[in-house]
């Protein structure tokens, strides 16, 4: 999930699909990736969609030692130009971070970069931003010490953080929820308590989707009321269109197979 507001989505970092992608982790909703060619095709369409919507995209080279390296969202948390480098929640993914950190340090000159230290751990995929309000999933990848370090940064920036418990059968908060705009959160029935989101700011809404469309709840909101959604989730699509969004659909099957969703594949900065 992007940790930037919709109006801050001007630049995105992505990472090319490695030759080892079929070894990527798939322990939640993924069935295991089978086609690197299809994953590359999806990835290039993803980049095309971002670029054709005015986002400047940089593609970092892949790293064959890290089959999950396309899921850059987990490796750096960019908030208002500041960067928190988390300790990834899965040990096999910890070596993905250095080139991402180096790229962001060079691109966000003058801003602070904070490094989290073990035993704190967090995946960027556990963070959801709704305007200037933040939510973090306490999950198998994000622990209380990690949440405390995120809170310290958000306190300095004047933003509130609310913690949401993620059931152990779900990967991240953003595997099951997203904010297609700065005043709307999509969330499926049956995964998390809606009360956990607390009172939302005036004009903001939780839009509850059928449980079977949980994967479709991960979306990328862009400027001009556009939103990228995964193909195959008709209720998500129609409910967003009813609310005036223009949806852009992408077949995510080969990314989903590695427990990846739309937001996992980019960092807006
Ligand atoms: N395959 C994505 C992850 O488990 O982190």
Nearest residue (by CA) to ligand 1, atom 4, is: 25
Residue 264, token pair as written in the block: 């996992």
Q: How far is the CA of 27 from the centre of ligand 1 (A)?
A: 8
Dihedral sign, Cα of residue 178, residue 181, residue 182, residue 186: negative
Ligand 1 atom having least distance to the Cα of 264: 2
Under 8 Å between Cβ of 13 and 267 = yes
Q: What is the pLDDT of residue 36?
A: 98
Regarding the beta carbon of 154 and ligand 1, being less than 6 Å apart is answered no
> Nearest to residue 172, comparing CAs of 248, 121, 231, 100?
121
Cβ pair 184, 131 in contact under 8 A: no
Bond before 119 cis per omega within 30 degrees: yes
Determine the pLDDT at residue 1.
Answer: 54
> pLDDT tens, 152-171?
999 999 999 999 999 999 99
Q: Quote the ligand 1 centre to 110 CA distance (angstroms).
A: 31
Task: Determine the distance separating the centroid of ligand 1 and the alpha carbon of 56, expressed in angstroms.
Answer: 25
Percent of residues, the chain, with pLDDT higher than 90:
97
pLDDT value of residue 111: 84
Name the residue with tokens 């499926």.
Answer: 188
The predicted structure's pLDDT at residue 109: 83
The CA–CA distances, whole Å, from 20 to 29, 36, 64, 116 equal 20, 8, 6, 28
| Separation of CA 243 and ligand 1 centre (Å) | 32
Ligand 1 near 260 CB (within 6 A): yes
Q: Does the Cβ of 250 fall within 6 Å of ligand 1? A: no
Ordered domains of the chain (ranges, CATH): 6-268 (3.75.10.10)
The pLDDT tens digits along the chain (269 residues) read 589 999 999 999 999 999 999 999 999 999 999 999 999 999 999 999 999 999 999 999 999 999 999 999 999 999 998 999 999 999 999 999 999 999 999 999 888 999 999 999 999 999 999 999 999 999 999 999 999 999 999 999 999 999 999 999 999 999 999 999 999 999 999 999 999 999 999 999 999 999 999 999 999 999 999 999 999 999 999 999 999 999 999 999 999 999 999 999 999 99
Pick the residue whose CA is nearest to atom 1 on ligand 1.
25
In tens, the pLDDT along 129-144 reads: 999 999 999 999 999 9
pLDDT of residue 110: 84
- The pLDDT value recorded for residue 2 is 81
H or E stretch at 246: strand 246-250
pLDDT for the residue 124: 98
Helix, strand, or coil (residue 213):
helix
Per the CB < 8 A criterion, the answer to whether 236 and 216 are in contact is: yes
Residues 6+ apart with CB under 8 A from 73: 1, 123, 124, 125, 174, 263, 264, 265, 266, 267
Give the model's pLDDT for residue 161. 98
Q: Using the atom order of ligand 1, give the atom closest to the CA of residue 71.
A: 2
Instruction: Find out whether the beta carbon of 166 lies less than 6 Å from any atom of ligand 1.
Output: no
Question: Residue 122's pLDDT is what?
Answer: 98
């Amino acid at each position: 999930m992007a940790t930037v507001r919709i109006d801050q989505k001007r630049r995105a970092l992505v990472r090319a699909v490695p030759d080892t992608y079929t070894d990527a982790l798939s322990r939640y909703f993924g069935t295991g990736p089978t086609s690197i060619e299809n994953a590359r095709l999806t990835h290039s369409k993803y980049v095309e969609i971002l670029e054709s919507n005015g986002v400047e995209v940089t593609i970092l080279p892949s790293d064959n030692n890290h089959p999950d390296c396309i899921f850059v969202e987990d490796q750096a948390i960019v908030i208002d130009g500041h960067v928190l480098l988390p300790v990834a929640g899965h040990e096999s993914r910890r070596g993905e971070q250095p080139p991402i950190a180096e790229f962001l340090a060079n691109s966000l000159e003058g801003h602070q970069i904070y490094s989290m230290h073990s035993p704190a751990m967090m995946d960027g995929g556990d963070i959801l931003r709704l305007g200037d309000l933040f939510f973090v999933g306490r999950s198998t990848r994000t622990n209380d010490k990690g949440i405390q370090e995120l809170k310290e940064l958000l306190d300095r920036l004047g933003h509130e953080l609310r913690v949401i418990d993620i059931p152990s059968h779900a990967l991240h908060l953003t595997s099951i929820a997203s904010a297609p705009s700065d005043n709307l959160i999509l969330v499926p029935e049956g995964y998390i308590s809606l009360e956990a989101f607390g009172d939302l700011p005036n004009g903001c809404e939780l839009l509850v989707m059928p449980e079977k469309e949980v994967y479709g709840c991960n979306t990328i909101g862009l400027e001009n009321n556009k939103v990228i959604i995964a193909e195959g989730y008709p209720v998500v699509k129609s409910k967003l269109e009813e609310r005036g969004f223009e949806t852009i659909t992408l077949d995510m099957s080969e990314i989903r197979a590695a427990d990846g969703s739309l937001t996992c594949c980019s960092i807006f900065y």
